[in-house]
Structure 1
Amino acid sequence: MPYETVTPQDCLMRNVVGGNAGNLVYQYSVFNSLATEDMEFETTRYQANLEDAERISQECQAFVIPLADAFRPTFMQYLKDLTALIKKLTIPCIVIGVGIRAAYEPDFSGLAFLDEDVKNFVNAVLEKSAKLGLRGEFTATYLKKLGYREEKDFTIIGCPSAYLNGAELCVKEVKLNTDSKVSLNSDMYPNLQFSEFLRNVQKDYPNYRFVGQIHNELRLLYTGCPFPAGEAYPCKNTESPAYVNQNARYFINVPLWIEHMKKMD
């Protein structure tokens, strides 16, 4: 659960965040959107077991599926398992925020081998609910290529985290100076342009905090174990400035993460 308290050992050994702590944030938003005083939630913990289908159908009102970039090669086996489970359920199955992982301005030709599995998943969901909620335009373009219709089979809703505090998203005005607290994160292998940006942020805003999200980043903070990453990556070993200056953070539940971010400029 996004608000569940677990130890760093649990997070490292059992992968309770699904490989990326960012998963907790959009899930937390979905929990908040659905929560009432008498609502009870149960999580599958990234398992899709067919033997659970009858119990889920009998005990639950709906099977809610918050997703991120699920249309990608490394997620296909889980998507197949999820599709099989959805087909056996007799309750509404609601997909919130699914997306495709693709290059900018994609033509999707290199991802054609995903098409059949994606269509099986989408068709299974549409048998149990009105439409799918998508991350953005790229995913919409991809589903249109597969023959699905916008606003009939799917609608673009963005990331569920945009609705974390309800219908209104307020963006505060930012005025930065050398004392400002800036939150920073990074891809493991930033390109040259982004590498320069990372270095400038660390130089110009020494009060920055680097927030890791993947397992290697938690392992580094907890055990000091280094891992391969790009030259400009801010926190890849104990000699990295973010580590030496105690500017690195990692969160394994959302409330603490949000409290940290409230302190950032």
Structure 2
Amino acid sequence: MTDKLKNTRILVHTAIFPWNNYTDKEVIDMDWLSGNSGNQLFRWAMLNLFKKNSHKNFVTTWDFTHNLELQKLNYDYFILPMSNTLREGSENELKYLTDILNKTDAKVLVAGLGGMFSRDGFYKFSNEKFIKKFIETVMEKTNVIGLRDNYSYKYLTEYLGYPEEKFSIIGCPSVTYNGYSRERPAYYKIHTDRYNLIDQEFKIAVNYIAGEYDYHWASFIDKVLFENQKADIFLQDIDEARLVEYGHSLVDERRHDLLVGDNQHFAYVEGRAKFIADPNRWISELKDYKFSLGTRIHGAIAAALAGLPVMIIATDSNTAGLAEYHHLPYIWDYELTEKTSVEELYYRACFEMQAYYDFFDESYDKYINFIAQNEIDLDILNKSLIPKRLFNYNNSVVGNLISSWDVYLDELSPYFELQAGESIEFKKNKKARKGSKNFWTWQNFRTKSLLQLNHKYRVTVLWEGKNKEFMLTAQDGSEVVKISDEIKENGQEVVFELEIKNDDIDHIGFSENFKTGRVHHIGIEEID
């Protein structure tokens, strides 16, 4: 362990850490979930990035506020994994966090901040002064605040009038729980009919928010549970956890005949109501299912992390906004009809999940770059969770430089080394040995969108260099034709065209005779 990893002290807004060992019963009894198991998912997702640091140097906000000696220490970073705090009724949390912020000089990292807003627009919350105080305090201590969706961005910039450059939409950190790897189910492939059959053995993971009960969606959930014996409910709220653990009924205002509210509900009696506090076990359990359906955003994200197609039933802007950002399939609750079936939603989810997978790399790179923008030393992060396509130069990330390109930088060829500036300079790696294992001399790029079979595309490369005859290659071996090669004011513009002849692809590359050069931009457009 390096000195940095040994000595970096980090304050975290969490109750427990991923490396602590607690039973579900202990977590429930102490309510270390802060009311909802979804909170653990996004908190631990962020902590997974920092877990290589000495665990003894992590301090929870609860311990900080209850121990004066801990308040006297110097902290390098204060990490705040957030959710829907911009809402009515959050003034206690806002005051609590603002008070802690004022007691430390640590660099602050706020990620996933969102809110609960009306479908009709924004209105003045009764606790608006506390929201403003929190935001203004954070802005003094951080470069950029990470927001979960466009609704939150518009609320803070357009409604409250804060400067746009202080905010970046990064989605929810929970999506990054497994790092940059994605569970891609073997049965799922777009453009085919290879979906699981819907029968009595088809396992469905159901979720919902009891506190947002509405007969319209609740009757649909009830129908799914009644008609599908392999449909189980994954409960998340702390009172539901006590129901599963001890049989305690929910309070009257949260107990409804159509949902599991006491130990008499048929799903509870049949052992189909589950609660899992630990995110690792939660995701692992979900891998036994074929489909996730319900109103909870983190229930859906946990299922997506397990490789399931998901369909979210959005009941508010908080849920819809996050689903929109991450391109997760969703419908509004009012879209449900008597004719809506599990089959319809399942097949739709299978089709629409491709957008989630297509966007994943871009959103992950943006998330890591957001962390770098806030001057977090990337040397203390868990390197196994940082893609090889992102390279650290002067505490910036190459992925930020190519955010406007239509490709990502895939794994770097051993032949090259990079220099990041206003563009990406490919230099020959003098330490690379030809003939050694895993040595190759071409450079691939992952396309941000799938290049589809029988479609034509134009690829434009703006660059500077000496290897004038280099060509573009296609993953499926389709022929690539160089259309033009012109000197422009800011470099040499080479235009290629190709028609995908063999299969859908998501990679293109520079041929082997590209040896060195400075690349300013790579753009892709579909042509007739």
Which TM bucket (shorter chain)? 0.7 to 0.9
* Code of the aligned partner of 1:156: I
**Which residue pairs with 2:79 in the alignment?**
64
**Which residue pairs with 1:230 in the alignment?**
256
Distance 1:47 1:212, change over 3 A: farther
**Which residue pairs with 1:260 in the alignment?**
285
Q: How many positions carry a matched residue from both structures? A: 258
Identity %: 24
Q: Partners in 1 of 2:85 and 2:17 — Cα distance?
A: 19
Displacement of 1:76:
1.0
**Residue 247 in 1 paired to residue 272 in 2?**
yes
Are 1:2 and 1:254, in contact at CA under 8 Å, matched by a contact in 2?
Answer: no
Are 2:87 and 2:115, in contact at CA under 8 Å, matched by a contact in 1?
Answer: yes
Are 1:49 and 1:85, in contact at CA under 8 Å, matched by a contact in 2?
Answer: no
**Which residue pairs with 1:136 in the alignment?**
149
Q: Partners in 2 of 1:193 and 1:175 — Cα distance?
A: 28
**Which residue pairs with 1:42 in the alignment?**
59
DSSP 3-state at the match of 2:47:
helix
Match of 1:209 among 228, 232, 235: 232
**Which residue pairs with 1:5 in the alignment?**
21
Q: How does 1:88-237 map to 2 (within 5 A)?
A: 88-103=103-118, 105-111=119-125, 113-144=126-157, 145-150=159-164, 152-167=165-180, 169=182, 172=185, 173=188, 175-178=196-199, 179-188=201-210, 189-227=212-250, 228=252, 229-233=255-259, 235-237=260-262
Are 2:205 and 2:232, in contact at CA under 8 Å, matched by a contact in 1?
Answer: yes
Q: Partners in 1 of 2:272 and 2:17 — Cα distance?
A: 24
Displacement of 1:9:
4.2
Displacement of 1:123:
1.3
Q: Partners in 1 of 2:271 and 2:220 — Cα distance?
A: 20
**Normalised by the size of structure 1, how large is the TM-score?**
0.88
Q: Partners in 2 of 1:148 and 1:176 — Cα distance?
A: 50
Distance 1:249 1:74, change over 3 A: same
Which segments of 5 or more consecutive residues in structure 2 lack a partner in the other structure?
1-15, 189-194, 291-528
Q: How does 1:73-92 map to 2 (within 5 A)?
A: 73-92=88-107
Displacement of 1:81:
1.9
DSSP 3-state at the match of 1:109:
coil
Q: Partners in 2 of 1:198 and 1:215 — Cα distance?
A: 20
Q: Partners in 2 of 1:63 and 1:161 — Cα distance?
A: 18
Cα deviations by residue, 1:197-248 (Å, 9 ceiling, x for unpaired): 2023213431122111112111111221212322211x21111121111111
Are 1:70 and 1:100, in contact at CA under 8 Å, matched by a contact in 2?
Answer: yes
**Which residue pairs with 1:19 in the alignment?**
35
Which segments of 5 or more consecutive residues in structure 1 lack a partner in the other structure?
none
Q: Structure 1 stretch 14-23 or stretch 190-199: which is displaced more?
A: 190-199
- Report the structure, 1 or 2, having the larger helix content: 1
Q: Partners in 2 of 1:213 and 1:12 — Cα distance?
A: 11
Q: Partners in 2 of 1:137 and 1:129 — Cα distance?
A: 20
Are 2:89 and 2:127, in contact at CA under 8 Å, matched by a contact in 1?
Answer: no
Q: Structure 1 stretch 164-173 or stretch 124-133: which is displaced more?
A: 164-173
**Normalised by the size of structure 2, how large is the TM-score?**
0.46
* Code of the aligned partner of 2:43: Q
Are 2:247 and 2:262, in contact at CA under 8 Å, matched by a contact in 1?
Answer: yes
Q: Partners in 2 of 1:180 and 1:65 — Cα distance?
A: 39
Cα deviations by residue, 1:70-124 (Å, 9 ceiling, x for unpaired): 1223321121121122122111011010111223x2422242x232211111111
Are 1:133 and 1:156, in contact at CA under 8 Å, matched by a contact in 2?
Answer: yes
Q: Partners in 1 of 2:166 and 2:36 — Cα distance?
A: 29
Distance 1:158 1:207, change over 3 A: same
Larger Rg: 2
Q: Partners in 2 of 1:182 and 1:97 — Cα distance?
A: 28
